[in-house]
Amino acid sequence: MAYLSKHRSWKKFMAIFFLPTVLSGFAPHSEEVFKSPARFSWSNLTPSELKNRFVGLSTKTNALGKAYFTLEGHKFMIVGGSIHYFRVPREYWKDRLLKLQACGFNTVTTYIPWNLHEQERGKFDFSEILDLEAYVLLAKTIGLWVILRPGPYICAEVDLGGLPSWLLRNPVTDLRTTNKGFIEAVDKYFDHLIPKILPLQYRHGGPVIAVQVENEYGSFQKDRNYMNYLKKALLKRGIVELLLTSDDKDGIQIGSVNGALTTINMNSFTKDSFIKLHKMQSDKPIMIMEYWTGWYDSWGSKHIEKSAEEIRHTVYKFISYGLSFNMYMFHGGTNFGFINGGRYENHHISVVTSYDYDAVLSEAGDYTEKYFKLRKLFASGSARPLPPLPPLIPKAIYPSVNLSFYLPLFDILPYLNQPVMLHTPVTMENLPINNGSGQPFGLVLYETSICSGGSLFASVHDSAQVFLNDQSIGILDENHEVLQIPKIQGCQLLRILVENQGRINYSWRIQSEQKGLKEVVSIDGLLLTNFTIYSLDMKMSFFKRLRSASWRLAPKTYNGPAFYWGILNAGSSPTDTFLHLPNWHYGFVFINGRNLGRYWDIGPQRTLYLPGPWLHPEDNEVIVFEKIEKGFDIQTRKKPQLQECYETGSGLPDAAGDADPC
């Protein structure tokens, strides 16, 4: 190691760091290859080989006081990578997990998103892409251990940090506290979730070796009793495996709880972080729960990258000192539908649809430079040969999709669910729909009659288009709450279309992340009343109804929100592709009723990932909901594209149909 070679003794250096060594006699000699006579055996202990289950993942210290993990009494190192089942098509779970194992990892970690599993209060969904049990059992079959991170709050750059939106209904509960309303909701969720996890635990024959208590509470900390309550909630429901907490170096002290291992999240190998953690629990091994392999992108920001060599060098250090770690993310996947979160920096900023994260495995499951560097590193220290590389999933270029038919937004209102009639508007969370759970995602259209122009005031979250009858008259958002309405003749229909662009997923601001219109909407101070409110959650059932609509031939140009319809011919054997929408501005793409996510011409993301299993042979229905102005056709690519491609490259396709330099 270049850094350690500056010191006379790496052992002395380790003593300064207070870092444990898992395998006695292990010492780094080269940046490229581990030459220790004691080869690493992190891949030897697999679910199929450990038949007798009594001890589980534990911690011990040797005669020299150095701490290490054990699994069923065997010395053990966690070499983990994060793959979120809900961000990967179910048909590709096996492919992604096999690639994790082939790289040299022995453990997969995943969050569990409460907001997706219980979108409506008391109505649980663990089917298809949300089948947690199937995902964990698949990992076991492949030979991987599993660490679960059930929250209830998970962050993960998902809407409201994984908390269900109905928690924001009036009266508002204090999220992430022992507030009675919040805890009662958590208890009911755990009553349903934890029984699914119990048989998956190590000591019951499953692959789950550890369970995390909440997530990064040290950066939130509003209730000193909260973490202990959650720990007890897990224990009394039968969780018997190792409990752990996860925080950055500034939050580990506050976010920890007695009876759970404190782990740390970090961007790089940081001396001070390890010293601080060791002082907290000197008799426990160090575990990096999140080593960030990259970062997520936000709309309107530059694409974020992290060098492969930096990743390899940092992981080499972790292994050299016997530190267990989990790479966040090994494979990021996609924020399909409306699940993306957001953050606030003077204004609302949305996370992009792709959750590629500049991770070890790309959004579409392709190998990266990081993957090959890590595989070479792990192979040099593994006690047994690594599994062969799974084949890449092919990508295809399909004929362009001509969106020949359209329906303006206001023409589709008869195909929506019955509107709600209210004296004053309410946020989408407080709509009396979905069995009293409100609306979690999507858009809401508010209508009322006005008989004069003037200064319109409306508190909007996150973004709204304002119309007089069918004509657009302006935009409102959280920083622009006033709009001048021109003089009108007689009474006309005021329409306000509000979009939830992703609830903030981090910080105390989650407490006030209601979306839509607040109660007070006025013109020149006069309160507007008698609203008709339409829910545009754009579920698959809506698109089934829309097939019976009278679609019209689309004009060459059209301004304003509208739905556009076309056919994508995928041939006899569909496979993955990326949709490219040149000249379209802002909206969502639906394939056979599935929401692929948001596109936006401000970048950095310029293509949408379309998994092959979601395509039918031959013809596939494509519906685009464009909010601003009609584009032309939709093209396909074999690779994703970013905005930088158009700023620095020619932007013209090469022979393979991929734009240079992407």
Flag whether pLDDT at 185 surpasses 60: yes
What's the pLDDT at 167? Answer: 97
Residue 35: per-residue pLDDT? 45
Token pair recorded at residue 443 = 């858009």
Q: What is the mean pLDDT of residues 4-18?
A: 34
Task: Please check the confidence at residue 315 and state whether its pLDDT lies above 70.
Answer: yes
Residue 14 pLDDT > 50: no
| Average pLDDT rounded to a whole number, residues 229-258 | 97
What integer is the mean pLDDT of 107-113?
Answer: 99
Q: Is 626 a catalytic residue?
A: no
The arithmetic mean of pLDDT across residues 633-660, rounded, is 58
Given 72, 157, 216, 513, which residue is catalytic? 216
Residue with tokens 């009494």: 73
118 or 653: which carries more pLDDT confidence?
A: 118
**pLDDT range class, residue 170, cuts 50, 70, 90:** confident
User: Which domains does the chain carry?
Assistant: 57-381 (3.20.20.80), 401-405+549-637 (2.60.120.260), 413-536 (2.60.120.260)
How far apart are the C-alpha atoms of 608 and 596, rounded to whole Å?
A: 7
**Extended beta strands in 500-546, E state:** 516-523, 526-527, 531-536
Asked if 241 is an active-site residue, the reply is no
pLDDT tens sequence across 389-422: 999 999 999 999 999 999 999 999 999 999 999 9
3-state secondary structure (DSSP) of residue 414: helix
Which one of 72, 241, 290, 447 is the catalytic residue?
Answer: 290
Cβ atoms 173, 226 nearer than 8 A: no
Question: What is the reported pLDDT for 51?
Answer: 84
Is the pLDDT confidence value at 650 over 60?
A: no
The mean per-residue pLDDT over the stretch 245-254 comes to 97
CA angle 537–450–512, rounded 5-degree value = 45
Average pLDDT over residues 328-334: 98
Contact predicate 154/215, CB 8 Å? yes
Helix (H/G/I), strand (E/B), else coil: 9: coil
Instruction: Find the mean pLDDT for residues 62-91.
Output: 95
State the pLDDT confidence band at 43, using cuts at 50, 70 and 90. low
DSSP assignment string, 575-612: -BEEEE-TT--EEEEEETTEEEEEEETTSSB-EEEE-G
Is 240 a residue whose pLDDT tops 80? yes
Report if pTM > 0.85: yes
Rounded mean pLDDT of 94-120? 98
What mean pLDDT do residues 14-25 have?
36
pLDDT(279) > 50: yes
Mean pLDDT value of segment 445-469: 97
> HSE on the CB side for 296, CA within 13 Å?
24
Residue 233 near residue 214, CB atoms below 8 Å: no
pLDDT band of 41, cuts 50, 70, 90: low
Identify each DSSP E strand in 191-250 by its residue range.
208-212, 242-247
Q: Is the pLDDT of residue 211 over 50?
A: yes
The residue behind tokens 């949305």 is 350
In what order do the strands lie in the sheet containing 577-580? 607-610, 577-580, 635-637
Q: Does the pLDDT value for residue 619 go beyond 50? A: yes
How does residue 629 score in pLDDT terms, banded at 50, 70 and 90?
A: very high
Quote the pLDDT of residue 45: 86
